[in-house]
Structure 1
Amino acid sequence: MKLQLLRPGKEIPPQTHPFFSDLASCGFPSPAQDYVESDLDLHDYCIRHPSATYYLRASGDSMSDGSLFNGDLLVVDCAEKPQHGDIVVASLQGEFTVKRLLLRPRLILQPMNAVWAPIYPDPNELEIFGVVTHIIHRTREMY
């Protein structure tokens, strides 16, 4: 998976949009209610540590079974401590990759596509550059 680094905008004023408190049923439709709970700023929602957060554009299909697709925008937080099961941006021998981090029973960078083989890195050679906290993808291809 190739990655393209994107930088957050500087001093962007809040961009809030209506946030409806009703849940959208993914099963049978429910009656719609016109009740706006509050305004939502996606920056505030997606970014916990602004000075330690960056964006990447993903390329490739090694994580497609995990709903991470070619062209998706990744929100990556360097201040988060990687935990078992997190999706991380990692570097092995100077090459970057995005994979699910498994810490037990042994260290594995696990792709989420059966076509790709797991990576069993030497812990001394693995460098984690951040935890993917959000995946943003378009439902219509616009590239």
Structure 2
Amino acid sequence: MSTCVIPLSRPIPIAHIPTDLCLKIVSAAGAGFPSPAQDWEETAVNLVELLRLDRAASFVFRVSGHSMLDAGIHDDDVVVVDRDVTPSNGRIVIAVVDGGFVIRQLVWREGKPTLEARNARMRYEPVVADEAVEIWGVVRATVRNLQG
């Protein structure tokens, strides 16, 4: 059982975050009508647990580029990637293409796995995920700094 620690006066660098760190939830922030269940809320959230960063198969990548904007993934976002999840149709994945990492959506086209960008304003060629392409992991979460 973890103990929740709430930082009071200064930010903590992510490398120094204790695995049992929890942040206090002040209240629900309505994005529509108020919820009748708003009185019942968790009192803290453990970011390491929420993002499952304590797993050996979880990795973090910083996104560079605009190829996934229509999937809600922006330049400079951070994505949490699981290496032990089986990639399936429609999932966002990290793949190794031509020796470099790319983030794309895995889509089956005519019986072939294809890596496709998600940005209607730009043209990206789909890549068939053949033996020259390694699906490295499946994206599970994104984190975005809204101040940047």
Same fold (TM over 0.5): yes
The residue aligned with 1:4 is: none
Query: 1:38 offset after TM fit, Å?
Result: 3.5
Please report the RMSD computed on the Cα atoms of aligned residues, expressed in angstroms.
Answer: 2.7
Distance in 1, matches of 2:86 and 2:51, equals: 17
Structure 1, gaps ≥5 residues long: 1-7
- C-alpha distance in 2 between matches for 1:122 and 1:100: 11
The reply on whether 1:55 has 2:53 as its aligned counterpart is no
Distance 1:112 1:51 in 2: 29
Which amino acid in the other structure matches residue 108 of structure 1?
T
Higher Cα Rg: structure 1 or 2?
2
Q: Which has the higher strand share?
A: 1
Q: Please report the TM-score for the alignment, with normalisation by the length of structure 1.
A: 0.78
Structure 2, unmatched stretches of 5+, are 1-13
**Which structure has the higher relative contact order (CA within 8 Å, separation 6+)?**
1
Answer with 106-115 or 126-135: which moved more: 106-115
Structure 1, residues 61-101: CA drift from partner, whole Å, max 9, x if none?
00111111111011011011111111101012212210001
Q: Residue 31 and residue 137 in structure 1: after superposition, are their counterparts in 2 closer, same or farther (change >3 A)?
A: same
Find the counterpart in structure 1 of residue 42 from structure 2: 37
The one-letter code matched in structure 2 to 1:62 is S
Equivalent-residue separation in structure 2 for 1:70 and 1:16 (angstroms)? 28
Q: Which amino acid aligns with 2:124?
A: A
Q: Which residue of 2 aligns with 1:125?
A: 132
- Which stretch has the larger CA shift, 27-36 or 48-57? 27-36
- Specify whether residues 11 and 68 from structure 1 end up closer, same or farther in structure 2 by C-alpha distance, changes over 3 A only: closer
SS of residue paired to 2:139:
strand
8 Å contact from structure 1 (residues 59, 70) kept in 2: yes
